[in-house]
């Protein structure tokens, strides 16, 4: 296993990993430029509103990033830093990558039987397992854009309703799935995390709406809620 981890953390692996991450960074810059030009052409938002939206988006990633980082630390010890960075940096699901690494290595990851061949197999499984999202985005984005334009023409309110209810449905579905899995395995940790996050989110939103000096906390609500959920889940679990 020691030889395998030396290969996994070799300079060449870091070069390849950073090359993959550079593509992600380039995509971020391209999307930011497109969004900025769109706002400039349509005048939908003021410069202050754009800056606020960007700030909220950045802050909103802090909580989820902490959760991913906590699992990624364990993944680094198993398959090395470069492969972890390349996978988590593209997909962002460290939990999925841990399962994929275990399946790809036939359960030998983090054991003396974890050979370089097993590392290669794990890397392939992790990469192919996460390619579905990338392929789906590549082929479906234009179709979704066409659907959006058609929906706008038939009923302009449809997009507004979808934007409002889609996040709610997504969070509800994911929450129900995780809470159900926890209760089936006789643990209330997911339920405690969900309730703690909801309480913190509601408390921050209520306090910010009643006190003008606390309005800045609205931007941090999701981050605080995720952290509160992690703490509550860890305590109960």
Question: What's the pLDDT tens digit per position in 149-162?
Answer: 777 777 777 777 77
Asked if 113 and 184 sit in the same domain, the reply is: no
Cα distance between the two ends of the chain: 31
Write out pLDDT tens, residues 125-143.
988 887 777 777 777 777 7
User: HSE of 43 in the Cβ direction (CA atoms, 13 Å)?
Assistant: 0
Report helix, strand or coil for 44. Answer: coil
How many domains does the chain fold into?
A: 2
- Phi first, then psi, for residue 106 (nearest 5°) are 60, 35
Asked if 163 and 135 sit in the same domain, the reply is: no
Is the torsion defined by CA of 38, 41, 42, 46 positive or negative?
Answer: positive
Asked if 100 and 26 sit in the same domain, the reply is: yes
Residues 106 and 113: their CA atoms lie apart, in Å, by 10
Asked if 97 and 4 sit in the same domain, the reply is: yes
User: HSE of 10 in the Cβ direction (CA atoms, 13 Å)?
Assistant: 10
- Domain of 26? 1-154
Asked if 139 and 185 sit in the same domain, the reply is: no
Across 196-222, average pLDDT: 86
For the entire predicted model, the pTM comes to 0.69
Asked if 223 and 143 sit in the same domain, the reply is: no
The predicted pLDDT at position 203 comes to 93
């Amino acid at each position: 296993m020691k030889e395998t981890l030396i290969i996994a953390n070799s300079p060449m692996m870091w070069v390849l990993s950073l090359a993959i991450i550079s593509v992600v960074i380039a995509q971020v810059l391209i999307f930011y430029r497109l969004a900025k030009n769109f706002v400039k052409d349509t005048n939908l938002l003021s410069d202050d509103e754009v800056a606020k939206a960007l700030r909220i988006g950045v802050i909103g990633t802090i909580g989820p990033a902490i959760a991913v980082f906590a699992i990624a630390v364990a993944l680094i010890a198993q398959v090395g830093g470069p492969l972890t960075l390349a996978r988590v940096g593209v997909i962002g699901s460290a939990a999925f990558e841990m399962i994929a690494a275990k399946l790809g290595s036939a359960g030998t990851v983090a054991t003396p039987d974890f050979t370089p061949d097993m590392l290669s197999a794990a890397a392939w499984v992790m990469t192919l397992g996460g390619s579905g999202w990338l392929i789906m985005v590549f082929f479906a984005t234009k179709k979704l854009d066409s659907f959006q334009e058609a929906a706008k023409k038939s009923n302009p309110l449809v997009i507004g309703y979808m934007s409002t209810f889609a996040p709610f449905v997504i969070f509800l579905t994911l929450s129900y799935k995780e809470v159900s899995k926890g209760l089936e395995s006789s643990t209330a940790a997911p339920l405690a995390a969900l309730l703690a996050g909801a309480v913190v989110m509601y408390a921050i939103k209520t306090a910010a709406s009643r006190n003008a000096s606390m309005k800045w906390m609205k931007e941090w609500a999701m981050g605080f809620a995720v952290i509160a959920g992690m703490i509550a889940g860890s305590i109960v679990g």
